Chains A and B, each alone.
Chain A
Amino acid sequence: AQSVAQPEDQVNVAEGNPLTVKCTYSVSGNPYLFWYVQYPNRGLQFLLKYITGDNLVKGSYGFEAEFNKSQTSFHLKKPSALVSDSALYFCAVNPDGRSSGSARQLTFGSGTQLTVLP
């Protein structure tokens, strides 16, 4: 079964500084990787995904993530943090199309609360 680890429950960063939210995964076969963001009292919003190709993926609101197969990581990054980026961030993984049945369900990490300080 696949799993996702977000080792930091909380990340604090000053506005204007770069931010990184960490994610590592375990999956049979090749992974489909996603980042979602959740604002208070809201559902999740899709930020970006890695399916194949370039290891650096660019997404919404200036976020990007780098897929590292050897380290099984998919860290979320942004060059310059904004106060409005403060939210709960989820990494998720799905095995690729060669897996089937119950294995093919989106598995989320536990979430990382990002706080950007003014």
Chain B
Amino acid sequence: KAGVTQTPRYLIKTRGQQVTLSCSPISGHRSVSWYQQTPGQGLQFLFEYFSETQRNKGNFPGRFSGRQFSNSRSEMNVSTLELGDSALYLCASSFGQPGAYEQYFGPGTRLTVT
């Protein structure tokens, strides 16, 4: 079974631009979560989607948004990029809503904002 895929793997943007990251979950998984990983803040939860509905959101500004499509694929968007948005963005999928279900992570998208 194919794992979680994320595109692109690497991205360089300038301040003020916007970016869209894509995630394809494992087949059959309906929940997709997004995390931001930085050396200073560690792993921080962004949001979680289940059956096209945002079920949970972390403590991030409104510049961070996402959506999930009917095939469970998900995208996240960051508008008006800031230098502090430079991070590894990880997508994870699970069969059910995160709780007892373990999550399967993609390799991440490395975003660099200059």
Contacts and interface: CB of A to CB of B under 8 A. Distances in A.
Interface of A: 32, 34, 36, 41-46, 49, 51, 90, 94, 96-97, 101-102, 104-111
A90 B103 CA distance: 13
Contact of A97 (B48, B90, B99, B104): B99
Interface of B: 4, 33, 35, 42-43, 45, 48, 56-58, 90, 92, 97-100, 102-108
Contact of A32 (B58, B99, B106): B99
Contacts, number: 57
Nearest to A44: B105
Given A45-B105, A94-B98, 12 more contacts: A42-B108, A43-B4, A43-B106, A43-B108, A44-B90, A44-B92, A51-B100, A94-B99, A97-B99, A97-B100, A111-B42, A111-B43
A44 B105 CA distance: 6
6 contacts: A43-B92, A43-B105, A46-B103, A49-B102, A96-B100, A104-B56
